[in-house]
Amino acid sequence: MQTRPLPKRPDVHLTAIGFGGAQAGNLGRPRTDEDIAAAVGTAWDSGIRYVDTAPHYGLGLSERRLGPLLAELPREELVLSTKVGRLIVDSPETAGGSDLEDGGFAVPTDRRREWDLTRDGIRRSIEDSLERLGLDRIDIAYLHDPEERMDQAVAEAIPALVELREEGVLSAVGAGMNFSEHLARFARETDVDVLMCAGRYTLLEQPALTDLLPAATENQVGIVIAGVYNSGLLARPRPREGATYNYAPAPEELLRRVHAIADLCEQHGVTLPEAAVAFVSGHPAVVSTVVGMRSAQDVTDAVARERAEVPAGLWDDLRSAGLLAEDAPTP
């Protein structure tokens, strides 16, 4: 599979498709160990060499599940990222419940998330992740969803990550969230190497084109795209009843827009998810697209979509119909 280097860290190469570890944390519903193991094995066999996880995913479950599976693979070929900002701490007072309603993960609440963007908190988060993973190093660490704590994130948390990078503990550092304007601030004001943009640069909408992507290009920051399907709306050739956008029921206006995009995709002989994966790769700042994978079939689908040929005429027709930003670069 094709790889791209981080502009400021050329030794760090990310495959075009990355393995998203939220499903390994039981996002939305429980997954079996066997399903996750099959997904990881299929991803490796398909050429995927970038795996992303986070303490937030299942209150540490994703890291605990993925670590032993990754330990069986050649470590020098793997790029592994996790996230910092929320510590996972024991919480006997909340045991007996489920994190599904509040956190979105089908796991028991005998642990809880605790925000800590201090230097000590960031270093502890990395230590805790290494312990859960059972691995000797993490390649990339992202500050996770700090949109309500931006001043501290810029002044304290990112410098703490940079310090770990300079010490050789990490190879690259950055931040990840759903807000492109905040990510643009990191690109402009901090020494980050890579930023993960979730849901704000997709075939459906491109707000990052006006803030994040110009800032990233100017400051040589690599962009990893997450949420390429806008939490499900672009994941099938046509949205199903109850399709979600930002993990909530999709508004009728967006459903109509997606159906109009799907009409043009069908006219050009491609599926909506194939076009969604292809589109984001067209921006020169984008180095990888992380896709959530809960089974071997999910991996097979993602790889096939990345390899699908999308005719240039589709992008022209989408622009003519007002369904794609005029200045959006395309493959």
Residues with a catalytic annotation lie at: 57
With CA atoms as reference, report the closest residue to 261 among 309, 327, 310, 188. Answer: 310
Q: Cα separation of 167 and 24, whole Å?
A: 30
Q: In angstroms, how far apart are the furthest CA atoms of the chain?
A: 58
Q: Cα separation of 285 and 184, whole Å?
A: 13
| Cβ-proximal residues to 46 (8 Å cutoff; 6+ apart), any chain | 1, 299, 300, 303
Q: Which residue has the tokens 């599976």?
A: 69
Environment class of 132 (CB within 10 Å of its CB; exposed 0-12, middle 13-18, buried 19+): buried
- Partnered with residue 245 across adjacent β-strands are 248
Q: Cα separation of 323 and 202, whole Å?
A: 12
At 168, the amino acid letter reads G
With CA atoms as reference, report the closest residue to 194 among 169, 228, 158, 227. Answer: 158
Q: Cα separation of 111 and 94, whole Å?
A: 8
Provide the token pair at 317: 């027709």
- 94 φ/ψ angles, rounded to the nearest 5 degrees: -110, 5
Interstrand relation of 50-52 and 3-6 (parallel, antiparallel or unpaired): unpaired
**Chain-centre distance for alpha carbon 99:** 21
- Pair 32, 39: CB distance under 8 Å: no
Q: Cα separation of 45 and 30, whole Å?
A: 25
Degrees (nearest 5) of the Cα angle 305, 307, 308? 65
